[in-house]
Amino acid sequence: MQSCLIVDDSSVVRKVARRILEDLEMIIDEAEDGQEAFEKCQAEMPDVILLDWNMPVMSGLEFLKRLRAYDGGQKPKVVFCTTENDVGHIAMAMKAGANEYIMKPFDREIIESKFQEIGLS
């Protein structure tokens, strides 16, 4: 089974994403902010990260830059999941190392489709 780290400061978003991804037979872990996510990645690198943009402590973009610079941090696929929908934000995320980008609110079909596009599920 593949593992997914859901990084979002909203417990509701984490719960919805967890249900969808568990249905796709993934092992799920959660983090409330980029700092907690980075610490979890240092302990055990997931296969994929579903990443929010706007979070306290460390933003999704800061986390992604730090992750990609970390030894082994190129391994996970990263899907940004956010309300930021302008082209500039998308370009920044992709330049920083995101593999895909989805908008909130999302549903099972959107997540499943994006994960298939990046070679998961």
pLDDT at 121 over 70: no
Confidence of residue 21 (pLDDT cuts 50, 70, 90): very high
Percent of the chain, pLDDT > 90? 83
Confidence of residue 43 (pLDDT cuts 50, 70, 90): very high
Strand partners, 77: 48
pLDDT confidence of residue 118 = 87
Residue 112, both tokens: 């499943």
SS3 of residue 114 by DSSP:
helix
Listed residue (2, 3, 64, 4) closest to 33, CA to CA: 64
pLDDT at 88 over 90: no
Give the separation between CA 35 and CA 46, rounded to whole angstroms.
15
